Structure 1
C-alpha cells in the first residue's frame, strides 16, 4: 500500500494536476499559442489523464474556479465597447448575423451528424470566449471532454495562418493592449463578494451554470456602470486559466479513443464550416463597403486578436477596425453563450446528466 493516507493522496493528486496544467500552459505560452495558459493546461492535463495519471480537482476548488471565471469575464469587458456599435454598422451587423449562422449551423451539424447532445453541440459551436465556454461546460452543461477537443481544434486551425504570415512577412509580433491599472486587494475582495452573492442568487433561481453566470453578470454590470475600470491582476488571470485547464483536463479520466476521435472529426468539420461562413459574409460586406476584402475577413474572423492583428499590420490594414470587431464579437458572445445555455437546459433538462 502507498504511504499516503486518503487525504494526503488527494492533496498530492490535486497538486500534481495543477502542476501539469501550469507546465502545459507555460509551454503553450512559450510557443505563442492563443489562450496559451488555458489551452496548454487543458491539453497537458488531458494527455496526463488519458495516460492514467490521477488528475483530479475537488468540488470546493471547482466552485472557486467558477467565481474567478465570472469575475475575469466581467472585468475584461471594455467600458466603451457599447459605443463601438455605431462605428461600422454594415460590418458589425454582418458580424452579429454571422455568429448566429455559425452557432446554428455547426450546432445543428454536430447534433444531427455526430449525434452529440444539444449542450455539447452548441457550446462547441461558439467561435470564441473559450474560457467562458469551458466554464459553462464545467458546470455540467454538455460533455466538457468533447467540447474542449472541438474548441482546441478550432483554435489551432484558425491560427495556422499566423505563423505562416510571420515567416513570410517582415512583421513584429502584434500584442493586444496591456492594462496599466489593476484592481487592488480591497477591490478584489469586494468584487468577489458581490460576484459570489450574485452567483448564489442565480443558483437559487436554478439558472444554468449559476455561479459562473451570476459572477459574470455582477462583474459586467459593475464595469459598464463605471464602478471600476481596472483590470484583474495578471497573476490572478493566469491562475484562473491554469485552474480552468486543470478542471477541463481532469474530465478526460477514462475517455475512450472512440469518443476522442468522434469529437476530433466533428471539430474539423465545424471549423471548416466556420471559415466558409466567415468568407461568404466577408464577400457580401465587401460589395457594400469600400475597404479591402482581407481587412473585412480579419475583422469577422473568429481567430485570436493578436494573430489577426499581426496579419492586419503586415498587410497594411486598419487594425482599429479589426480590434473593434473582435471586441464586439466577444461582447456579443458574452450574452449569447449564457442565453443558449439556458435555452438548451430548458429544451433538454436531462442534457447534463452523466456529464457531471
Structure 2
C-alpha cells in the first residue's frame, strides 16, 4: 500500500477512536481513544505509520498548546519544585530497581533486557544500547512502548476520580489568528534550533519555550482554537499507536505479561510518591502525578492540557527525568555488562533475531 494512504488510514482510525472515546466524556479521551484504536489496528496486522515530518508538526502543536496552557502563577510555584524533583529522583531509583528485579527473578529475562526495559524513558538511547548487544531489542521496545501506552490510557481514567485542574492560562476568548500564526512560526523555528543543539524532544520543548515566553510577557493572549487542539490530540494518538506496527502478536504476547506487571508496579510507585509529595506542596495531585509519571513528555504534556494542569510544571519534571536517565542508564549498563547471568541458561535465552 502507498505510504501516504497508510498514513491517511492511520489518522482516520485515530479520529474514529478519538471521537468514540470523547463521547464517553473521559478526560483526555481524544488522545486516549486515538492511541487505543491505532494500537489495536496495528497489532491486528493493519499497516500504521506516522512519518518524521508529520511527527515534528505534531510536536510543534503539542508545545504550542502547552505554552498556551501555562498557569499564570507558575513563577510563584517554582519554589515548591525542589521537593517534587527530589521525589522524582528517588522514584526513578525505586522503579528501576523494583521492575528490574521482578523481570529478572519472576519472568526470567536476562539482566540487560530486564533493566533496559525498566528505565522509564529515553527510548531512543535505550534502543541504541540494546542494538550493541545489551538485552533483547524486540522485547525491550514492546515493554517500553507498552508502558507509555498504558500510562496514556490509565491517566485519563484515573482523572475521573480526581478533581480536574483549575488552571486557565489560556483564558476564555479565542486568540487572534494572526498572533497564532506568528507564534506558531516562532515555535517551529525554536524547535528546529533545539534540534540542531541536540536537545531531547526538541520540537516539543522548543515550541513550548517560545510559547511560554510569549505567554508570560503578554504577547500570546487568548485560547487556542479547539479544533487545533483536537487535531493535535488525534495526531498524537496515531503516533503513539503506530509504534506497535511491525510487531507480531506472538512477539507482543511473549513480552506483554512481564511488561504489564512492570507497568502496574511503575504506576503504583508513581501514585505512592505523588500522594506523599502532595502532603508537602499545594498542587493538584493529578498534576503531581503527571509530572512524576514515567510516560513520554509528549503524551503526558498533552494530557496535562486536556486535564487543565500547569504544563510548565509537567514539562520541567519530564526534562529533569530525561537528564537524570542520561547519566543513570550508561552507569547501570556498565554494571549489567560486568555481571554474570545466572538466571537464564543460554539455551533458554529469548530469541534475539
TM-score band, normalised by shorter chain: 0.5 to 0.7
Give the alignment partner of residue 341 of structure 1, picking from 306, 317, 322: 322
Is 1:233 aligned with 2:232?
no
TM-score norm. by structure 2 comes to 0.67
Q: Compared with structure 1, are the counterparts of its residues 300 and 192 closer, same or farther at alpha carbon in structure 2 (3 Å cutoff)?
A: closer
Alignment partners' CA distance in 1, 2:329 and 2:78: 34
* Counterpart for residue 120 of structure 2: 122
In the alignment, structure 1 segments of 5+ residues that lack a partner are 1-5, 124-135, 167-172, 290-294, 305-325, 352-356
Give the alignment partner of residue 255 of structure 2, picking from 246, 259, 275: 259
* Counterpart for residue 208 of structure 1: 200
1:166-213 Cα offsets, whole Å, 9 max, x none, are: 9xxxxxx96857741233221222111111111121111122222222
* Counterpart for residue 28 of structure 1: 21
SS of 1:248 mapped into structure 2: helix
Q: How many residue pairs get matched? A: 288
Pairing 1:1-356 to 2, within 5 Å after superposition: 9-84=2-77, 95-111=84-100, 113-114=102-103, 115=113, 121-123=119-121, 146-154=143-151, 179-255=171-247, 256=251, 257-281=253-277, 285=280, 298=285, 302=289, 327=309, 330-345=311-326
Alignment partners' CA distance in 2, 1:67 and 1:336: 19
Q: 1:46 Cα deviation (Å)?
A: 0.5
In the alignment, structure 2 segments of 5+ residues that lack a partner are 104-112, 128-139, 292-307, 334-353
Cα RMSD between the aligned structures?
3.7
TM-score norm. by structure 1 comes to 0.67
1:36-57 Cα offsets, whole Å, 9 max, x none, are: 1112111110000000111112
Q: Compared with structure 1, are the counterparts of its residues 159 and 220 closer, same or farther at alpha carbon in structure 2 (3 Å cutoff)?
A: closer
Q: Is the 8 A contact 1:96 1:332 kept in 2?
A: no
Q: Compared with structure 1, are the counterparts of its residues 327 and 99 closer, same or farther at alpha carbon in structure 2 (3 Å cutoff)?
A: farther
Q: Is the 8 A contact 1:150 1:263 kept in 2?
A: yes
SS of 1:122 mapped into structure 2: coil
Q: Is the 8 A contact 1:17 1:56 kept in 2?
A: yes
Alignment partners' CA distance in 2, 1:225 and 1:249: 37
* Counterpart for residue 317 of structure 1: none
Q: Is the 8 A contact 1:155 1:303 kept in 2?
A: no
